[in-house]
Structure 1
Amino acid sequence: MLLRLATTSGLALIAAAAQAHSTAAPAAAGSAVDQEITFYRDVLPILQDNCQTCHRPGGDNYTGMVAPMSLITYDEVRPWAKSVARNVQSRTMPPWYADEAFHGVFENERTLTQQEIDTVVAWATSGARPGDPAHAPDPVDFATHGWRIGEPDLIVDAPRYFVPDDADTHYVTHTVTLDESMLPKSRFIKAIEWRGGPAVHHIVGYGFLPGRGQERGTGYGLGSIAPGEEPMQFPDGYAKLLVAGTTVAFSMHYHKEKGPGTGVWDQSQVAFAFYPEDAELHHFVDHDPIGNRWFDIPPGHPEWKVGAGRVFERDTTIIALHPHMHLRGKSAEYVAHYPDGSEETLLSVPAWDFNWQTDYSFAEPKRLPAGTRVEYTAIFDNSEANPANPDPTVSVDWGQETWDEMMLGYVTYSRTQPERLTVEGVLAEHFGVTEFEDVEAGEDIAQD
């Protein structure tokens, strides 16, 4: 993953560096101990644990964003030493935007400890010495298939599509029907990863049941990608369902400069990882937004507040939270109001970044008692002080374009009460399909 916000208070004791990978005694920055900090012994383990998943050839692809340099070898890192130090000291990298009060709450947290930051900064400012290669940890064996969910069980390619020269923003929906050679029978999903080309702004994925039509609002959700978004991955025992014969819809938003020669071919993809067919699963996963379309952000306003809420009528387990706004987004917060009158902040993102639209996945799924109201609050900055603001002189309301705004707080959740997942049961309980013959390939579905 790449490199992330806060400041060190002046490099104080470099014992921090030594504690992690050596037995040196504490000493102040600039001391002889600083000179002992080396790449192979002290810095490389930090890069392996926190940076190399992205910063390597063929590194992780965050919705088209690929790390601009490799940080695998000393020769690769040395020219970037001061830049790396500057970015980790400012906490620009690794990119992670949850409030520090939530340290340890989310399993996909990307942060460095103050000790690790001090180590990297001291190394870069004291000569960036290589040290003894014999002190290096073993190289990390990264997978070569390129998918962050692991090697997929099914990859679906959208039709190749040419985004024309005269298009700057362009919408189209591609569809692919899963025939028997692609998906012989319905399968429970462990993870979903969407991948778009360089002109893709975002993709929203849907599945349409066979024989049920493809009208807007009739499909079932299969995840999405937006800038910086991660794949959808579920804890063990939690699953979504991909129904045999489904038509997979790629709802595409392309965005690029327009003009002669700017046209580009795209062939986006979605990959699925399935559970084994005999896996015992007990929690079906839903993914819905808490949102508000009825807002109007005044010109120049630095902190416009918009709220929305939802009551969860059943005992519910939250797996992940995902705030979504556009360029004027400033901060976001989810607060649970419990039936006993108490409340709890589930997530606070004090410095929203449009380019890193992270899924915040709980290390321990969060249980809410029936009757809990979750309120989602988004703050927007439509002032000149917002460097990402396209135009602070206009009012802004809901819209699809990046220069419009959205207010959506996605929640990935399931019922807390376990249920033995079967294809027939999920179709009846969660898809509203009770007559399997109404679904093409219904015999396969009923036998799953």
Structure 2
Amino acid sequence: MHCRLVCFTVAWLVGGIVSIQFANAATGRQSEESSASPVGTQVAMFELPNAYGKPVSLSDFAGKKCAAIVFLGTECPLAKLYGPRLNDLQAKFGDRGLQVIGINSNKQDSLTEVASYVHRHEIKFPMLKDKGNVLADAMKAKRTPEVFLIDADRVVRYHGRIDDQYGVGYARDKKTRSDLAIAVEELLSGDEITQPTTEAVGCHIGRTKEVAEVGEITYAKHIAPIFNARCVSCHREGEIAPFTLTSYDDTQGWEDTILEVIGNNRMPPWSANPAHGEFANDARLSEDEKELIGQWVDGGMPEGDPANLPEPPVFATGWQIGEPDQIIQMRDKPFDVPAEGVIDYQRFVIDPGWDEDKFVVACEARPQNRAVVHHILVYVIPPGGRNVDLRKVLVGYAPGSTPVDLDDGVAIHVEAGSKLLFEMHYTPNGTAQSDLSYIGVKFTDEDNVDKELEGQIAANSRFRIPPGEANHIVNAKHTVSSDQNLLGMTPHMHLRGKAFRYTAHFPNGEEEILLDVPAYDFNWQMKYILKEPRKLPRGTIIRCRAIFDNSEYNLSNPDPTKTVGWGDQSWNEMMIGFMDMVDAD
């Protein structure tokens, strides 16, 4: 039997005259320590073209009491989110003497793209283009977004982030400290800056580097096949990833960010411990692939002979399951996704009109707006019931996932009168959007069904996670009532989820770790599909252990001062070990 199941899971330039250096405000000498804080150093005058090619000088704002020089990029997710927030800061403090100045130093961002960024996000402050990253080099700027707040004498008084709401791998429902706004208020009030330095987080600035293309590893022959196989399913036009990787030009300027995210295993997203189990949808880069990418970057990122380029991957534009028997929308009108913030799970109940039992052999969830749909889960609500049947997840979607497509006489049985719950997770991208996602379903007659795909769960809804507890353990179990073949597992927790493990305890006394997720990531709701089905004899006990982090050190934690229990929304918690099984006979 073969089952394909869903796995769940960021040119031309107009030149400008630039003259800038960092000088110590006391000695006038240029700083030699690249890692030293720029606070206390002085910025010299500079002139750069704005998004429309007009020269703009720092001297144009000589009458201002302070200026926030902020390095931004057009595709960096954090830069997209913080652009509109900088508008608010300019509006709040502009009359009191603040001037926000945006700087784009990315070699991959053309002036046209900078202008598009200004238009798309309705940027109200000057946005300047730093050709050749001369200004970024002089100021030792590394990230987007990164702030340098200078006073009337051009001395840096604050350096770092804008606030603490967004970071790499986390997004709080609200900021807890508005670092830049506090620094501006203190500076304008004549007070000392209480926290002059914070860590700037975000994408690396895509620098123009004087590196000769001397490497033997080329994009066309070695790197394009890796990116095609591992990255472009998400990193392509219209998908949720923040930039595209479908051509050689797309890679330029992103090399430092790419090396960082693959070096710390953030990308491609995969959380399973390789010591336990083999999975058909393992997304990890091999060590050889990582080494090739590193050698390519070190060798100057040569393009190579375009004749060596592999055939680009082809992605389905229509239904991957073929034309469905029924299409079901998540609601009767689109849902509006705001430009920024954290959007909690949206839950929509739909009556599909099933007045007879249905046997589903294929189901595909399709986001209408892939740029903001992070994932979709569609549950079955049994007839006459008000709650979902957690054992009946009809289909799901996450970037890079595949549809449910069953064969060999296997189907999902749904009772007549059942309703469907669409659970939608949205990720704002800096621009207000809307979405009306939907699913397609294919059925078969009951006479064609030999086995039912059965969802099973090990769940615990009676836990209470104490405030501040960094390693709170919750256990659950499921006993296998007949010989079964385990096909896949999906651990499910919310923002305080830290780790999850499935362990099989067999009737003969043996134990086996089926899946270990030592660093659970709420942002990637993954299904781990076994490479080969694992037979579980009757009487096998599947024990699931979840670890929760309700401490202040969990940057995603909505409130570490609260006791947390079971609930639907992400500020609550869940502890569910989903499993897909079929009869072994």
Give TM-score scaled by structure 1 length: 0.72
Residue of structure 2 in register with 1:39 after alignment: 219
Residue of structure 2 in register with 1:82 after alignment: 256
Give 1:70 deviation, angstroms.
Answer: 1.4
- Aligned residue among 271, 282, 295 for 1:122: 295
Give 1:135 deviation, angstroms.
Answer: 1.3
Q: Please say which structure displays the higher CA radius of gyration.
A: 2
Give 1:409 deviation, angstroms.
Answer: 0.5
Q: Distance between the aligned counterparts of 1:33 and 1:130, measured in 2?
A: 9
Contact 1:207 1:220 in 2 (8 A): no
Residue of structure 2 in register with 1:249 after alignment: 420
User: For residues 128-170 of structure 1, what are the alpha-carbon distances to aligned partners after superposition, in whole Å with 9 as ceiling and x for unaligned?
Assistant: 110111111122222222x565665542223323658999758
Contact 1:201 1:253 in 2 (8 A): yes
Residue of structure 2 in register with 1:319 after alignment: 487
Residue of structure 2 in register with 1:177 after alignment: 352
Residue of structure 2 in register with 1:357 after alignment: 525
Matched, 1:305 2:478: no
Tell me, what secondary structure is at the counterpart of 1:41? helix
Q: Distance between the aligned counterparts of 2:424 and 2:446, measured in 1?
A: 38
Q: Distance between the aligned counterparts of 1:223 and 1:170, measured in 2?
A: 18
Bigger RCO of structures 1 and 2 (CA < 8 A, at least 6 apart): 1
Tell me, what secondary structure is at the counterpart of 1:118? helix
Matched, 1:111 2:284: yes
Matched, 1:155 2:327: yes
Contact 1:229 1:357 in 2 (8 A): no
- C-alpha distance 341-229 of structure 1, shift in aligned 2 (>3 A): farther
- Aligned residue among 272, 275, 283 for 1:101: 275
- C-alpha distance 270-70 of structure 1, shift in aligned 2 (>3 A): same
Identity across matched positions, percent = 31
User: For residues 4-36 of structure 1, what are the alpha-carbon distances to aligned partners after superposition, in whole Å with 9 as ceiling and x for unaligned?
Assistant: xxxxxxxxxxxxxxxxxxxxxxxxxxxx99711
Give 1:247 deviation, angstroms.
Answer: 5.2
Q: Any unmatched runs of 5+ in structure 1?
A: 4-31, 60-65, 418-448
Q: Any residues of structure 2 matched to 1:64-83 within 5 Å, and which? A: 66-83=240-257
Q: Any unmatched runs of 5+ in structure 2?
A: 1-6, 11-211
Contact 1:85 1:121 in 2 (8 A): yes
Q: Distance between the aligned counterparts of 1:129 and 1:279, measured in 2?
A: 59
Give TM-score scaled by structure 2 length: 0.56
Contact 1:149 1:192 in 2 (8 A): yes
Residue of structure 2 in register with 1:144 after alignment: 317
Residue of structure 1 in register with 2:512 after alignment: 344
Tell me, what secondary structure is at the counterpart of 1:43? helix
Give 1:223 deviation, angstroms.
Answer: 2.6
Contact 1:175 1:247 in 2 (8 A): no
Which has the larger displacement, 266-275 or 79-88? Answer: 266-275
C-alpha RMSD of matched pairs (Å): 3.7
Residue of structure 2 in register with 1:189 after alignment: 361
Aligned residue pairs total: 370
Q: Distance between the aligned counterparts of 1:361 and 1:397, measured in 2?
A: 29
Q: Distance between the aligned counterparts of 2:450 and 2:434, measured in 1?
A: 42
- C-alpha distance 78-172 of structure 1, shift in aligned 2 (>3 A): closer
Q: Distance between the aligned counterparts of 1:129 and 1:165, measured in 2?
A: 40
Q: Distance between the aligned counterparts of 1:356 and 1:219, measured in 2?
A: 19
Contact 2:325 2:442 in 1 (8 A): yes
- C-alpha distance 94-201 of structure 1, shift in aligned 2 (>3 A): closer
Q: Distance between the aligned counterparts of 1:219 and 1:390, measured in 2?
A: 25
Give 1:54 deviation, angstroms.
Answer: 1.5
Q: Distance between the aligned counterparts of 2:345 and 2:260, measured in 1?
A: 38
Q: Any residues of structure 2 matched to 1:263-302 within 5 Å, and which? A: 266-273=435-442, 282-302=450-470
Give 1:289 deviation, angstroms.
Answer: 2.0
- C-alpha distance 370-251 of structure 1, shift in aligned 2 (>3 A): same
Q: Which amino acid aligns with 1:133?
A: P
